[in-house]
Amino acid sequence: MQTPTERIVARFKDISAIPRCSKKEARVRQWLMQWAQDRHLPARSDRAGNLLIKADASAGYEDAPAIVLQGHLDMVCEKTPDSTHDFSRDPVRVEIDGQWLKARNTTLGADNGIAVALAMALVEDGAVAHPELELLFTVDEESGLNGAKKLTSDFFDGRILLNLDSETEGEFTIGCAGGQDSHISLKLDFSPLPENQHIATLRVAGLRGGHSGIDINKHRANANVLLARTLDRLTRDFSLRILSIHGGTAHNAIARDATARIACPVAEFGAVQRRLSRIERTLQDEHSRVEPQLTVSLGADEKKEDTDRSFAPETTEACLKMLVAMPNGPMAMSSEMANLVETSVNLATVRTTAATVDILTSQRSSVASRLTEISTRVEALATLAGARVSHQNSYPPWQPDAESALLQRCRALYPRLFGADPKVTAIHAGLECAIIGDLCPGMQMISFGPTIENPHSPDERLQIPSIGRVWDFLTALLASYKNQ
């Protein structure tokens, strides 16, 4: 007979077989609705695609309050540069590596597929006693909590919410940062490319990347930052021309790779290569402990397209100065919780189109006024460079309630199960609790989950033993509500 952990892992593998990048959750939603129909469980979705599945209370729990188990259906779709994985059709290949689950050259999607697997296993296990359950699965969380933003307060009935989207077992999260993205667009002016130019691709690669909230204080390098710094140095000393810049993949991921298509006089190319080798050594020395695989290289022109123009000198100067000056990383630490980042910026993506350089930054803060302040700072800098700025995907912070009855229940139960006190914390990342709590004043909420390392990167992995501990706690917590 399978253990609860084995059943949960099996369900997680089922989920991982279904492509489910953000905004493309239809297949996994349909699969879950069929799962609910097969078990005669009421299920419905709203216009945004959020899904609600209900399970009746066990005998003796009819008078207990309904409990909402909440997670999101989508995942961040990242892969290594050499991976041929197609997230639109290929299943994520889940592998066991000792005590960890991981994926082959892609994100694992434990953020947040493990929440779905836990909820499914809970309903399927007839031996687990529980109050009425509402399984609330949102969509498009990773793009900015967008599914949660479209929820209505009458979509679900429960006013006790267990969010299963935290990533360190033994921690209860009771607060999170708010966030806002800034879209920056700099109009490109071009100038003719001189004759006798060598065109090449400048690449910053090999970085660890990671989640732009929970990993922002781990001193991981940002490829967009390093590329801008390298280009700025080279254009000061050589007749370097920029044809395009690209870097990063998502607003909530620290950029792991970035490239620029460049041109320089054939006579200067050797000197550029030598200077670049010195720049690479400098950056490797700076980041040796955290980024041992960092490389800065100049290779063959990847596009191999004929071109007769490059960024005009004024555009090059405006673009590089803006990128070099752009805030990135932690901006302030919390004065209330030790080692918690209060405010940060992620220089997330850079893209060159036919007419513009488009930059995306992501700001976070647990203080609403400081979120406004840092977003205003980003806007001011971009405006000084002559760019246009718009702000999107705003969501509020989730303010901690250290006195909530739900937290007190959890704090009393955990040591009885495991012989140690849990850690109560807030995180520097967005959780849907912020949106749901704003929608439903008075909602009691807590977030917990099994241990996940390196989410939002191909190094993501899920600790298998922690799944069992979360199962034990979750089932005991539900059992504690018997006819209350």
Active site residues: 74, 141
With residue 405 as reference, give the H or E element that holds it. Answer: helix 405-418
Q: Interior CA angle at 313 toward 326 and 258, to 5°?
A: 45
Q: 369 is written with which tokens? A: 């006024």
Cβ partners under 8 Å of residue 88, min gap 6 = 19, 21, 24
Q: What does the DSSP 8-state code read for residue 2?
A: -
Cα–Cα dist 394/458, whole Å? 27
Q: 468 is written with which tokens? A: 């069992």
The C-alpha torsion from 417 through 422 and 426 to 432, rounded to 10°, is 0
Q: Interior CA angle at 115 toward 110 and 119, to 5°?
A: 145
Q: At what angle do helices 26-38 and 110-124 cross, to 10 degrees?
A: 10
The C-alpha torsion from 302 through 327 and 454 to 410, rounded to 10°, is -160
Cα–Cα dist 64/480, whole Å? 10
Q: 80 is written with which tokens? A: 């290594």
Cβ partners under 8 Å of residue 99, min gap 6 = 463, 464, 465
The C-alpha torsion from 163 through 441 and 430 to 99, rounded to 10°, is -10
What is the total residue count of the chain? 484
Cα–Cα dist 195/184, whole Å? 32
Q: 260 is written with which tokens? A: 């620029």
